A and B are shown apart, each in its own frame.
Chain A
Amino acid sequence: MIMSRRSDDIPSALAVRPASELPCDVFDALRPALLERLIALRGGDGDAGGAPGAVARAQLEALLCHMGDFLRTGDDRPYCAFLARWMAAVVGDGAPPTALFSSLRTLCEEAVELAETGGDELALAVARLHLASARILVEVLAREHRRTLRLSAEL
């Protein structure tokens, strides 16, 4: 049940701590450039599938916005709920859940690379965000898997 997943479930060493103002502001400032890089990366994909351009842009913007909030507050609940919805949208679009990891990895790797231009503090914060995002997605997926198995058993 999603209520049980709070920041205190994540080992304290791995939790995303609320970052100081400076890296958050720098991250916010980097967001437009990051968005354009991600859109450009996606653009090379041609018609290989996925959401149309405007929808993809909106999804990426929302994701970056939630990342920024997560970075600022360290509160994983809204971010977690967003990632769960994102997963629902991606899977609903017919993509396998592994596509999520591929997208997240591309996005976060780009974010870390760009953040490295903003100094160690920001890069570390974004790298932690990368790990936390992957961990949350795995948790969401594991919960779904457990539920699927339970439902199968009930039937």
Chain B
Amino acid sequence: MAGDEMTTTAVGASHKGRVREHNEDRMVIDEALGLYAVFDGMGGHNAGEVASRMAADVVCAHLRVNASRRSPQRRLEAAFQAASAAICNEAARDPERAGMGTTAIACLIAGKVATVAHVGDSRAYMVNHSGVHQLTRDHTIVADLIAKGQISVAEAEYHPARSVLSRNLGALPRTRVDTRQVTLEPGDRLLLCSDGLTGYAPLDAISRTAMHAPASAVASDLVQLALRCGGGDNVTVIAVTAGEPRPAREVAGAALESMWRGRRAGFLAAAELGGLADSPICAILSPEEAIAIVAGNFFDAVAADLERGGLAHVWSFAENLASGWLDQDAGFDLVRGVLDIAATAAEDASRDEPPLCIAVLRLLAAAEMAVGSQIADRMAHASAALVAARKSEDAAFSDHPTIPAYSARDSAPSPEVTACLTAAREVAHQALPDLGLATDASECIDFAHELASDAPGADPAVFCPALFGTRRLSETELSPLCDVLDRARAAHMRAVRDHHASPEVRCAALRRVAAAHSALFAGVGVIACDAMAPITTSLQELLDETRAMRAELRDNEASLLALGREIAALGDPDLEPADGDTVVTR
């Protein structure tokens, strides 16, 4: 490939949707021009179709004729103006077409540079490994209100004027066109779409499909996504993927799908043997229905994703399963059970063919991640509620004396010490209801007991992450944990102190418990430091940069002073300032 050349693969898909009778969207894929465009027409009596078709024709014709030395921005802008004038004239000529117009999103690719121009609410997105980034801002009344800070994004969703365009091609002979340029890297993907996609499918689902679907299937997958999400409008998507296509994998996809299809009976039998029909998730189904529907759907989802090289179907299956059950008691365990059965059956069915098994394992991992994303969403809500609840409490730090930890775990505890530790653990647990935040305290006492008793496998490196959890580095999240650790330690120590064993036994037990709690506290501290490391490193980098800038500033000031002296000497040698004089220059 030449230095500035970039191979691209463009695919498009369009559908009239589930509600509209006509498709008023229009798309252009012209590899020779490097032009990709979507137009979403509007107007009664099929005038929307006329407007979008006219815009597509005029823009293409204009760009073909004017393939000159003008910049791509100017060429696109001129083409859009020509289209707007043509539509406006036609609307003025034919009263039935009065008020017709169209949105326009177009991309002109030359080498590695993509120039995007748009009018209206059709959008362009850049999709790369870091995510999906919107390149355009809708020309709608509500987008303008959001930009001015007059309404929030949430309010915009229900605003009565949410669909009203502030600009389109055809409203006026001339209109303002927004343009921007992006540089493409291999693997980058440009999406152009009408609002039939973005108005119905959630952005995270669009992102997932846009990032992971193969180049040949991404446009149709996104259109299918919009249809699954209601399909209330015409929907059109063009995806332009930069870099060499990967036909080998897509050809392999068809072969993998074929291999997988041949294993249907084996998979269903393995799922039945695994007990899928006994899962409470399948309670309302007969055993035959459970296998046919639940296992069958999973099998088909795997087949569809193998064929396309994507993961959207398996992801949707797992996401639907999780979203239906996670909010119920023991819901996760049930989802886990079904996923494990399906995964075991899938691996059993594909084990004899390593390439198939590898592809299936990747899809199973995607299914896990889909469930994980659902849990993460719920956890974010629950954490926010928890933080709010804690803020409302006046959780003051407790102040308990800390017993020095000396050396405690130099040998296994004697039977008497073990008995004392076990009894103290029970007593400490009984004291917990009075402490508040009993869950963390209870875990802390259990972990400390196992450490103090030298239980097999007891390890602060394993326990501390469990205690730390997913807290953020804020006082509202860390302070309560420290408070709980301290209260649990105090309760645990008190229970040992109050035990009826001999002073020697109690002393040995106290040393062990104190050392165990110290280890837990230190471990949690290490994790907090780990979590803080990126922040402190960033701060250090900032400090270094500031130091360098200060040094540069000093140098510049010195140069300025010297320059001032030279200028002053040139003007009047007698006025040359002495060292230490201030010279002001403008």
Contacts and interface: CB of A to CB of B under 8 A. Distances in A.
A29 interface: no
A21 interface: no
B300 interface: no
A88 B465 contact: yes
Interface stretch (B6-14, B281-289, B343-351, B489-497): B343-351
B534 A130 contact: no
A144 B380 CA distance: 11
Contacts of B389: 152, 155
Main secondary structure of the interface of B (DSSP, over half): helix
B385 interface: yes
B582 interface: no
Contacts of A89: 527, 530-531, 533-534
A72 to B, nearest CB: 18
Nearest to B129: A41
Interface in A73-125: 77-78, 80-81, 84-85, 87-89, 91-94, 96-98, 101, 104-106, 108-109, 112, 116, 120-121, 123-124
Interface in B463-511: 463, 465-466, 468-473
B389 to A, nearest CB: 4
Given A3-B462, A152-B389, A147 B469 contact: yes
Given A1-B466, A81-B461, A138-B372, A127 B362 contact: yes
B195 interface: no
A121 B357 CA distance: 11
Contact of A155 (B361, B390, B443, B459): B390
Interface string B521-542: 0000001101111110110010
Contact of B379 (A2, A3, A121, A148): A148
Interface in B333-388: 336, 340, 343-344, 347-348, 354-355, 357-358, 361-362, 364-366, 368-369, 371-373, 375-380, 382-383, 385-386
A92 B537 contact: no
B353 to A, nearest CB: 10
B450 interface: yes
Given A44-B185, A101-B372, A96 B380 contact: yes
Interface stretch (B160-168, B434-442, B567-575): B434-442
Contacts of B343: 11, 13-14, 131
Nearest to B311: A105
Given A13-B348, A149-B382, A88 B531 contact: yes
B358 A84 contact: no
A109 B311 CA distance: 12
Contact of A105 (B131, B369, B535, B537): B369
B129 A54 contact: no
Nearest to B337: A11
B465 A130 contact: no
10 tightest A-B CB contacts, nearest first: A92-B531, A84-B465, A134-B368, A51-B534, A127-B361, A120-B354, A97-B376, A2-B466, A13-B344, A138-B372
Given A13-B348, A78-B461, A127-B358, 5 more contacts: A52-B537, A85-B527, A131-B361, A134-B366, A148-B386
21 contacts: A11-B340, A41-B129, A54-B537, A88-B530, A97-B372, A97-B379, A101-B373, A108-B365, A130-B361, A131-B343, A134-B368, A135-B365, A138-B371, A141-B375, A142-B375, A146-B332, A147-B440, A147-B469, A148-B383, A154-B436, A154-B439
